[in-house]
Structure 1
């Protein structure tokens, strides 16, 4: 699909024609909504401001390297699970190999002591007991719960509760009841409080960093659930990575008859007599439809696309109150890709979190938690590095405001701050792996300002609302009670992680829900079936990639805008 190709202009639906749906945004939720709309007999069109699908689920190229931005692990890679059903319907995993890891993450402290979080409960227990026999009771408790989670069917809701029959709700409840006490207890135990009970200081610091960096406010439940999924092959890394996932869903959508207009920025949602009737693009072109699904940044939808004219008590709470309340959004991230001439460091796990300590952490610009994650990204999938070369992916939590304000006020100072990240990484990696410094060909740094610039995500947040925060219950009610709608405005839905919480499987499922609600309103049968794509994945399926402007330092470090 060519950039700028918006297709024929849509006016009123012809008599007897299929109901028309316009979707704003070709992120994972928008692509999913388009696929399910086409499968359900609707006629859909997606308008996307960028030149690529996927939103934050993306990648970019530089000097032959592919920098894969989003996926650390993907829930739903194991056949026979509800989440996998969604990905199979969307064609996301067609022809792909899945890389699974025997460990979730390794954590190394300032003194070089390390703990490896193996996904296998028995191996993990033996390893942790070797580190700290004095913490045997807590270790056995955690690993016992991990075994219990691993034995459960990883439940995933394929239909929103509001559309379920009484019998369907009863079956869901019966499926959850046997593990209810386990869910309740682990959801009520904060990970930080649990970790602080360890006598060994390494374990106290390491446990909250199982998810690479500490997600404040998270209880034990998501750690146990996700590690158990990884143990069962249900949290792997799909061949092709982030953009590969988006391209596969894009291919599925096109195969179902859908059309994406790239470089087609929506400026306004057109409303007549309290009903959304279409969109106006930046070029002035107007397209009309029976329904509009906004699958993009929530504040942008309400404030700009709807001009602040429609809202609800729940969206007011989310976007006017909780948006600026600490710990409701996933933290912003600095993401740095390191291109290496030669192989990856020998004997290293796929992911390591290094605890830097306050002094060293202060040298890493904007580092919130004094820790740095290093992943061996080109070891996951082919196509991420030229022949004979490799890619490391280094990330850390940061604040959005300082990066964005500096970029606006002083572009030179902003680039200098990014060069400080480059210099830190060069020193750090050379210390960890002697001789690697001479092999570094480039370091590409993306900040929260970069994320906001390319995706439009408010505050550069990649995952939007954080689970187990104040926003969680409000978002859940927006989906399950308000049916992703705004009072007083018909013909309109919201979808995506700014509506239904963060994470790729949640984003895809929110697109599914939006179409299910729409089909119920139209009296149309919702239909979905697995893709039958069998062509093996290959890097050529990534298509043409943007070659971002390069700015080279004297030390051969490239720094992205």
Structure 2
């Protein structure tokens, strides 16, 4: 009789787990809280316009690299998937627009033109980025001697950079610079409290074409993966919140969802870890790394996403960060003085012909939006409409004709993300990549429970698409080994 593994969550990690287990002949079923697959790898369509709520850049898009090969295994990418790599991004400081190149030599020349007095430190930074460009990011831990040799041969530069910089804050590097504009540019690229290694990794992967945007975005990535999982015989239960993980003799034996019990030989939790520990397991089990991280680690902040379908194209760059001195009131606590607009003009699937879609991401307050939606749904809808008008008005001052071009408006608040993806504290990508959080190597099991395996963005500091998929593969290996 074939073994069965039940998986909680149909996001990148959960579907990846299912794919690898189905390939091994192990039957799986996935329980997903929302009505569609994807988790935070999500896009939504409104009257022919598609808005991508996930992918800013996707590490591992360069053919032949370890993560690219991983994506191909789960059909996140296909051989003919077109990858868009932005050549530059724009930002404003003190009324001046700066175009930041996303290739190494122009990037170095640009920084030196901004701050000749910091040229020595800029040269040193770019040398480290070049090391990142010429090395491979390993896609997970080696499972054998040959994989270990490959990592030692091809990923040595990455490992050395991580060892050297993962414990250093951005501010430790930036505050040693002399030029204030250069400091602002680098803080725009990576916040001061994050690890300096994050900047080097992000720029290195983007500058060599290994962190691009796959045309079709999150919509096509997750559709390909879901389709492949179903081809392999997998099954997904949508709108199926898991209320309890049932244990028998210290083993994960069943799930309770919608008042029913579903028996399992093993369980993989590819979902919110707070929900797993505090709700599904009733707070009865400690986790040495997750407990302190969930208690006090910095998280990626809750966001509101304002999306607009435009009946024309404005020749906008992929990312443009506008100053907004007048400020936009997001909620009772947050006022934004910047508008970061992302344009998808390069992707034909994002809008009807000769049209375009754009998004503005705004840091928000979870409690405000949750309370407003819960206590007064009508005021919640009204406030979303007001916010949309304020963002449109601000953008129209900077992009003449923007207001008249808007055909479709959509506002997704932190309450929206909670409703669809059950995110702890509304965090869209889990634990932020700070030096203090990077000290934790999160174990993918819970002491005292056999047959329960953890994966997903809450099991890797910094989150990300590549690590979510890889963690699903790792969970499948652990579950398959347990079932032998």
Confirm or deny a common fold (TM above 0.5). yes
In the TM superposition, what whole-angstrom CA distance separates every residue of 1:346-375 from its partner, at most 9, and x where no partner exists?
3x3211122335xx3364445476322101
Structure 2 residue aligned with 1:90: 74
For structure 2, list consecutive stretches of 5 or more residues without a partner in the other structure. none
How far has the Cα of 1:392 moved from its partner? 0.9
d(CA) in 1 for partners of 2:241, 2:32:
6
Q: In structure 1, how many angstroms separate the alpha carbons of the residues matched to 2:405 and 2:468? A: 38
Does residue 261 of structure 2 align to residue 300 of structure 1? no
Q: 2:204 aligns with which of 213, 221, 228?
A: 228
Tell me the CA shift for residue 463 of structure 1. 0.5
Q: So what's the TM-score if we normalise by structure 1?
A: 0.80
Asked if residue 100 in structure 1 is aligned to residue 85 in structure 2, the reply is yes
Please say if residues 23 and 34 of structure 1, whose CA atoms lie closer than 8 Å, have aligned partners that are also in contact: yes
Which of 177, 196, 202 lines up with 2:181 in the alignment? 202
TM-score by length of 2: 0.92
Q: Aligned partners of 1:517, 1:488: CA distance in 2, in Å? A: 16
The equivalent position to 1:477 in structure 2, one of 436, 439, 442, is 442
Equivalent position to 1:218, from 190, 194, 198: 194
Q: CA deviation at 1:520?
A: 2.5
Structure 1 residues 265 and 183: alpha-carbon distance in aligned structure 2, compared to 1, 3 A threshold: closer
CA contact (8 A) 2:11 2:40 kept: yes
Aligned to 1:130: 113
Q: Does the 8 A contact of 1:26 with 1:48 survive in 2?
A: yes
User: Does the aligned pair in 2 maintain the 1:121–1:144 contact within 8 Å?
Assistant: no
Aligned match of 2:476 in 511, 515, 526?
515
Superposition deviation, residue 96 in structure 1: 1.7
Q: Give a deviation string over 1:448-492, Cα, whole Å, max 9, x none.
A: 111111111112211011223534333x231xxxxx221222221
Shift in Å, 1:174: 5.9
Deviates more, 1:80-89 or 1:407-416: 407-416
CA contact (8 A) 1:32 1:508 kept: yes
Q: How many residues align?
A: 481
Deviation at 1:196, TM superposition (A): 3.2
**CA drift at 1:251:** 1.2
- Structure-1 separation of matches of 2:67 and 2:383: 40
Map of 1:486 onto structure 2? 446
> Is residue 498 from structure 1 mapped to residue 458 from structure 2 by the alignment?
yes
**Residues 1:55 and 2:30 aligned together:** no
Q: Tell me, in whole angstroms, the C-alpha distance in 2 between the residues paired with 1:58 and 1:178.
A: 33
2:401 is the counterpart of 1:435: yes
Contact 1:29/1:509, CA 8 A, preserved across alignment = yes
Q: What is aligned with 1:464?
A: 430
Cα pair distance change 1:396/1:216, threshold 3 Å: farther
Q: Is the 8 A contact 1:60 1:68 kept in 2?
A: yes
CA distance in 2, matches of 1:110, 1:403: 32
**CA root-mean-square deviation:** 2.4
Q: Is 1:415–2:390 an aligned residue pair?
A: no
Question: What is the 5 A alignment of 1:28-43?
Answer: 28-43=12-27
Structure-2 change in CA distance of 1:56 and 1:81 (3 Å): same
Counterpart Cα distance in 2 of 1:188 and 1:263: 41
Report 1:132-151 matches (<5 A).
132-151=115-134
Match of 1:336 among 284, 298, 306: 306
Asked if residue 351 in structure 1 is aligned to residue 335 in structure 2, the reply is: no
